[in-house]
Amino acid sequence: MKQAIASRLICACAGWNVPGQINAELVAQFPSLLHLEDELSASKTKGPALTHLQRYAQSLGGVEINSSFYRPHQAATYARWRASVPDEFRFSVKLPKAVTHILRLKNCDVELRKFVMEAEHLKEKLGCLLIQLPPSLSFDYQVAQRFFGLLKQLSHAPLALEPRHATWFQAAAFDLLFENDICLVAADPGIAGYQVLQEDFPLTSSIAYLRLHGSPHMYRSSYEPEYLDKLSLRVAALSAHCKHIWCVFDNTAEGAAFPNAITLQRQQT
């Protein structure tokens, strides 16, 4: 008899901004925040002031660090972040643009080693490394194979790849990801017809990684309750196949990510 997978959903945002005040208007738009208002208010009055990350970690179980894409963080910074969150909290860290967008996965050994050495100071709370590729970067088997091999030598963290060129959505690329146990990110908006809610979206590793950028306006739009209901069903279906399911809301520009993540999390409890 096949053993059931003990799956864990990690609802997260790209960054750890939390609404400074959950007012009536926000609760009306996101009813799932109703009970959270008292919890967040109480956290302000208990002992020393909490950092933004500590306050965020009271509500969600993970976060995606996007700032690492733009600039390096010192090892001591990662260590401080690790020490400030609960034991079960997990970080996903985005690879730097020097590796993915400037060097385009080639001749990047020095930059990649430096990044991994810094991020590894998250230790057991390093839940994933996110590789987001530029839209112009097409699939090249030799380049990808060498890059993935090097990254897997440097880190034992799960890897998630978000390609944005249609050539990555073909059997040869899927097979390479499967062979290297690398998760193909399901993104909204989707690429080449592949959508977050698609039931036959290729599962290329033991984890699933969903990135919700906002729709119809990327990075700005909140997701409607109907979409979040469908997303909740998709997450439940994935739980039969995946050890960890990351669901990261990147629609942060107008503050929708945190309420959307809380809503999905509460639907799963």
How much is the pLDDT for 1?
A: 35
The pLDDT-based confidence of 26 (bands split at 50, 70, 90) is low
Does 214 have pLDDT greater than 60? yes
* pTM for the predicted model, two decimal places: 0.91
Does 27 have pLDDT greater than 80? no
CA distance 58 to 130: 23
- The secondary structure element, H or E, covering residue 182 is strand 182-184
- For the segment 182-204, the average pLDDT, to the nearest whole number, is 95
What is residue 18's DSSP assignment? -
Instruction: Give per-residue pLDDT as tens, 134-180.
Output: 999 999 999 999 999 999 999 999 999 999 999 999 999 999 999 99
Q: What is the mean pLDDT of the chain?
A: 91
Q: What domains does the chain contain, in order, with CATH numbers?
A: 14-200 (3.20.20.410)
**Position with higher pLDDT, 263 vs 50:** 263
Type of residue at 98: A
Q: What is the DSSP string of 129-164?
A: EEEEPPTT----HHHHHHHHHHHHHH--S-EEEE--
CA distance 231 to 141: 32
How much is the pLDDT for 93?
A: 98
Instruction: Give per-residue pLDDT as tens, 100-136.
Output: 999 999 999 999 999 999 999 999 999 999 999 999 9
The pLDDT-based confidence of 250 (bands split at 50, 70, 90) is very high
